[in-house]
Structure 1
Amino acid sequence: MLTEKLLSVENLSISIGEGELARPLLSNVTFAVRPKSVLGIIGESGSGKTLLSRALVNWVRPPLRVTSGRVIYRERDLLSMSESEIGTLRGREIAYVGSNPTTALDPTVPVGHQIEEKLRAIDPGLPREQTRKRVIDLLDAVRIPSARARFDEYPFQFSGGMMQRAMIVDALISNPKLLVADNITQPLDVTVAAQILRLLRDLQTDFGTSIVFVSSSFGTIVDIADDVVVLDKGTVVEAQETRAIQHSPEHPYTKELLAKVPRLWHQVGNIPVPNSDPVVLDVRDVAKTYEVKDRKSLFKKNRVQAVRGVSFEIRRGESLGLIGESGCGKSTLSRLLSSLEAPDRGEIKIDGVDVATLRGEALLGMRRRFQLLLQDPYNSIPSHVSIGATIAEPLRIHGLASSRDLRQRVYDAMAEVGLSSDLYDSLPVGLSAGQRQRVNIARAMVLKPSVLILDETLSALDQVEQAKLLDLFDDLQRKHGITYLYISHDLAMVRRACAKIAVMYLGRIVELGDNATIFDNPAHPYTRTLLSSVSTVEAKPFLPSDYLLEGEPPDPIQIPSGCSFQSRCPFVVETCRRQDPLLEARSDWDAAACHLGLEDLPAASIEKQPSLGGLLETANNSVERL
């Protein structure tokens, strides 16, 4: 029983609607946050996590209504405060960071200036030089590249991951007593997420900040939280210390959640089998460089080397995963592969035809054979167009269906991806993120493509929704022989879905290998770094103490000589500084671009956790009995 409380939630209930139409969203939620601790809140999509996190800072607006309960912060009920009263706490003593940072800042004012103004409003006596320095130091602490220069850039110049880190700085700038963080690491790659978790822990330790950390990732919760609250359909079903809930969960729903956590090392991944099918996607020495204006010169332009000599091939019915940090060139490569942009050099062949040579009707015909599925399930389909019309649009563009049989082809595509035909004339308003992605998949599948490029397609979904869509992709692959390229920072998803994996760093592939080799015995230190950074409930064979990175990749405008990873590699030798390593084969399909041998790297070592293996077996058995 908790005796010390910085914040306590007592019998909180929230509903939507009035009278007989009212529907409960949260029901009698009760828990407490200890001073100087991290409380994790976990549950599937739709469990009420985000609504609860917003209620903690009194952001419940019509048509939502608080029907009962209190949120007590230092003996004051936040829910009974007026907007002016809560305004004296929110942003100062209590900070909130949401999962969607793209609309949080004024697009007409530079990012650093907005954060600086907030700090000056909180502490007007601080000299401007000190406020500027503190903002830049925090931007640097959350690994914003070139923080001093980024201080003067506008929100549209920041990537989604950088915006998320900027919003974390905005929340931390006042050294709050309570920080509510709602799914803030989900859109970030594993190395940045690991640094953010460390930063939050430092904040909690150095300034005594209590943190409410909301996540759909059990591994992330285990990494950061002292206590855990499990939320299911708006109700708290279990609350324990993290270690207890990890090793001895009591509620069936908690056991089910734990059993569904993707495993990286305690399960067999997608094993490659000998494949004599023809090569569908053949990429040879592809490169892309962009010219961008030099911020320090009126006329000078710089050359950004986004993709540098990438080569690989995928055979019919195979799945290749492409992993790497944000900014490594993955998304640029996806645009080149889908013919949205042309490479500066190299060949991209689909079924033996170089897409760069195609024009007009020939290119349009080729585009029927490959489709690109994007990350954002909300902005990638129009909100004002019916679901049926959205899915039918490719058929109209390519002239593949008459008005008589168009509706039936859309119905068939909807059924194949698990969408009810009743949704045909409905708008996408009210659909979950998983349902919206099914609309995207149906829109792609209606053309019967041979290649699907999934650019972070599942990263906005929780692990349960991810598992459902991965099963769907498996079914589609078995039925139609589709070839997949998964581009993702989600290593657990890639482990589950892909037989072969390519690791990309600073525009270049630094390691290629089959699933087992990449996860169990990779040859490149960067691959091991990614694996050491991932949040998981398992013991890791590659320890963060050996591999966890500091700093950002080098500027793609000024790539250093020698190995491009040398400035961050913990095991760099003199040869790495002088000579750029080639991608050399280790076996029929495995290759790595590194001067070091496996004998030069720390041996992989799974730490023994006797209770963990038993827990996984118990959890899975519990789910089977449910």
Structure 2
Amino acid sequence: MISPVNILDVRNLTVTLDLGPRGTRAVLTDVNLSVGENEVLGIIGESGSGKTVLSRALVRWVTSPLEIESGAISYRGNDLLRLPRAKMQALRGRKIAYIGSDPASALDPTLPVGRQIVEKLKSIEPDISNGEAEGRVIRLLDAVKMPGAKQRFEEFPFQFSGGMMQRALIVDALVTNPDLLVADNITQPLDVTVAAQILRLLRELQRDFKTAILFVSSSFGVINEIAHRVLVLAGGRVVETQSVQKLLAAPQHAYTKQLIADIPRIWQSSTEAVADEVSPAANDVILSVRNVSRIYPARDRNKLFANQFVHAVRDASFDVRRGDNLAIVGESGCGKSTLSRLLSRLEVPDSGQILFMGEDIASMKAKRLLALRRKFQLLLQDPFSSIPPHLSIGRTIAEPLYVHGGLSRSEIRDRVAATMQEVGLSLDLFGKLPVGLSAGQRQRVSIARALVLDPELLILDETLSALDQVEQRKLLALFQRLQDQRGITYIYISHDLGMVRRACNRIAVIYLGRLVELADNRTTFIEPRHPYTRALLSAVPAVEERPFKAETYLLEGEPPNPIHIPAGCSFRPRCPFALDKCAIDDPPLAARGRDELAACHLTEIDPHHQ
């Protein structure tokens, strides 16, 4: 039951950006909101709407060139903007907690994670003993379902996965039992199963600790999973506030209506789904992966001068047809990014073949590989680190043409200009540095840099995962137009199943480095054969009813360590339907229907097992 008493009231909050000689620009304008005790208020809007600035302003973490120009932020009747700095610092961390979207940058890489949380607790409660502080942190690590909490207490951030680091930051935020938690896009960088676990965990903790939560997200599906009410931000202004269900059923503002129209529909009838599209001809293969494996040596910390081996990709075999939009999906750590590096020849497999247009790029000599690289390109996830900050946008896009040679400067300039226009970049940006570009604009620069060589295959490694649903829709429309005009083939490596449902005609599901299912769009989302595929679908944040219930399929914890692959079926320890033979026999990836493959003993008993 939500209390009618407000724990936080924000009135007429305005935040400006100092533009130097050009004056100032408003980032937030006259924002009003309230959060009741034991309430979860969702904040949603597209990139640039002011969500993150608002979340940081609420804990008074706005720094130059941003400035809080006017307004009031009242926490239990105290205006935070007028509190002395020392009192605000005492309040922040003790009664008001904040979690950001990048857990890696929030943790000190030189200290064990548990020790960092203890240090924070003791700074706030100096009278607490070391033993009591450690005990409280370990109990909370257990409460957030950290696997092996006592052992993880002494491990360093680099030994944690993204989901484990986010759990650690939740413990760090809740260790002092705060009244208010500000969570800024904390599920965006996580795969669907971990994100679903984090959302369920927050609901449980909010119920148990009676903590009010202000939850910022760019996904309506995520907001629908956790929030009681939702506030819509557009251009730094609040355009609508009401309960989540009322907003989804009857949005009032035109901006909200467009946001809701942009939500990917996964199971409802949708003109966006590519489920019924005809697959490209099976005999027109542009890329063939045959029994590819990649193993990395890793030091065994328990033995002197001994190695263990990480089985990142295990005996992967599949074909990519010309004109395909093939998705490769799975949890973090399942081998997706390793596979992308192998497909783009940034790494060489330990065994197997990768045939691009009939030639094995795995064993190819450097000179031939350089010539062939014009035909396949890799687009990475982070649009900020993948573009050099010291080069102009035009020079960045032109770089591949200079590497491969054969064109004059004027020809290069003409091709770069034409490609910029093709991807929707203004020619005014040609001579400018990338500073100030949005994430979507930066991705367009990366796309243009790849397209300038006229490739036939693009490998997109989480390329759209950092973007909101509006920007995703724009870039997916761009990819479709480029495919229609140029005949490009796409491989989407992603954990965003909503995007995959909208964009891809075939889906490969990978678990612990092994392909466990390969099928067309409709089969994957409506009649998947493998329990792991259903587990992924049960975790998708959605505004519609899911046919695969989280109570049955949702996975707990992290995938098993790829150093110690379980015997038999590697999914058996997490499978709710495992058979006795699953502990002994590893099922092969075999035909289970028309153009469908699955590696599961259950499909041998019942091909349509649900």
Which residue of structure 2 aligns with residue 4 of structure 1? Answer: 5
Which residue of structure 1 aligns with residue 23 of structure 2? Answer: 21
User: Is it true that 1:438 corresponds to 2:444 in the alignment?
Assistant: yes
User: Is it true that 1:273 corresponds to 2:278 in the alignment?
Assistant: yes
Residues 6-405 of structure 1: matches in 2 within 5 Å? Answer: 6-17=7-18, 21-139=23-141, 142=144, 147-266=149-268, 267=270, 269-270=273-274, 271-276=276-281, 278-405=284-411
Structure 1 residue 526 displacement after superposition:
0.7
Residues 449-460 of structure 1: matches in 2 within 5 Å? Answer: 449-460=455-466
Which residue of structure 1 aligns with residue 494 of structure 2? Answer: 488
Q: What is the TM-score of this pair, normalised by structure 2? A: 0.95
Which residue of structure 2 aligns with residue 568 of structure 1? Answer: 574
Does the 8 Å CA contact 1:30/1:236 hold for their aligned counterparts? yes
Distance in 1, Cα, partners of 2:316 & 2:164: 26
Q: What is the TM-score of this pair, normalised by structure 1? A: 0.93
Does the 8 Å CA contact 2:459/2:490 hold for their aligned counterparts? yes
Does the 8 Å CA contact 2:529/2:608 hold for their aligned counterparts? no
Number of residue pairs the alignment of both structures matches = 604
Structure 1 residue 130 displacement after superposition:
4.3
- CA displacement, residues 206-227 of structure 1 (integer Å, 9 cap, x when unaligned): 1110000000100110110011
Alpha-carbon RMSD across the aligned residues, in angstroms, is 2.0
- CA displacement, residues 281-339 of structure 1 (integer Å, 9 cap, x when unaligned): 10011101111001122211101111111111011111100110000000111111111
Does the 8 Å CA contact 1:524/1:592 hold for their aligned counterparts? yes
Distance in 1, Cα, partners of 2:509 & 2:443: 26
Q: State the AA in 2 paired with 1:522.
A: P
Which residue of structure 1 aligns with residue 419 of structure 2? Answer: 413
Which residue of structure 1 aligns with residue 434 of structure 2? Answer: 428
Q: State the AA in 1 paired with 2:68.
A: V
Does the 8 Å CA contact 1:272/1:500 hold for their aligned counterparts? no
Distance in 1, Cα, partners of 2:387 & 2:8: 40
Does the 8 Å CA contact 1:143/1:192 hold for their aligned counterparts? no
Distance in 2, Cα, partners of 1:287 & 1:139: 35
Q: State the AA in 1 paired with 2:602.
A: L
Distance in 1, Cα, partners of 2:608 & 2:119: 47
- CA displacement, residues 430-473 of structure 1 (integer Å, 9 cap, x when unaligned): 10000000011011111111111101000000000000000011
Change in 2 beyond 3 A, CA 1:603/1:240: farther
Change in 2 beyond 3 A, CA 1:583/1:386: same
Does the 8 Å CA contact 1:453/1:484 hold for their aligned counterparts? yes
Change in 2 beyond 3 A, CA 1:359/1:601: closer
Partner of 1:474, secondary structure, is helix
Distance in 1, Cα, partners of 2:333 & 2:599: 19
Distance in 1, Cα, partners of 2:590 & 2:212: 49
Distance in 2, Cα, partners of 1:224 & 1:196: 10
Moved more, 577-586 or 437-446: 577-586
- CA displacement, residues 191-237 of structure 1 (integer Å, 9 cap, x when unaligned): 10011011111111111100000001001101100111111111111
Moved more, 50-59 or 13-22: 13-22
Structure 1 residue 542 displacement after superposition:
0.6
Distance in 2, Cα, partners of 1:384 & 1:82: 40
Does the 8 Å CA contact 1:272/1:514 hold for their aligned counterparts? no
Partner of 1:431, secondary structure, is coil
Structure 1 residue 149 displacement after superposition:
4.5
User: Is it true that 1:530 corresponds to 2:536 in the alignment?
Assistant: yes
- CA displacement, residues 143-187 of structure 1 (integer Å, 9 cap, x when unaligned): 655554444343344454544343333222222111000111011
Moved more, 246-255 or 198-207: 246-255
Q: State the AA in 2 paired with 1:200.
A: L
Does the 8 Å CA contact 2:8/2:76 hold for their aligned counterparts? yes
Structure 1 residue 602 displacement after superposition:
10
Change in 2 beyond 3 A, CA 1:183/1:400: farther
Gaps of 5+ in 1: 605-626
Does the 8 Å CA contact 1:571/1:601 hold for their aligned counterparts? no
Q: State the AA in 1 paired with 2:225.
A: D
- CA displacement, residues 397-423 of structure 1 (integer Å, 9 cap, x when unaligned): 111422232111111111111101110
Does the 8 Å CA contact 2:465/2:496 hold for their aligned counterparts? yes
Q: Pick from 549, 555, 558 the counterpart of residue 543 of structure 1.
A: 549
Structure 1 residue 577 displacement after superposition:
1.4
Distance in 2, Cα, partners of 1:333 & 1:245: 41
Distance in 1, Cα, partners of 2:475 & 2:429: 19
Distance in 2, Cα, partners of 1:383 & 1:162: 31
Partner of 1:95, secondary structure, is strand
Distance in 2, Cα, partners of 1:60 & 1:188: 26
Partner of 1:88, secondary structure, is helix
Does the 8 Å CA contact 1:142/1:195 hold for their aligned counterparts? no
Change in 2 beyond 3 A, CA 1:198/1:358: same
Distance in 2, Cα, partners of 1:321 & 1:79: 48
Structure 1 residue 340 displacement after superposition:
0.9
Change in 2 beyond 3 A, CA 1:603/1:556: closer
Distance in 1, Cα, partners of 2:535 & 2:362: 35
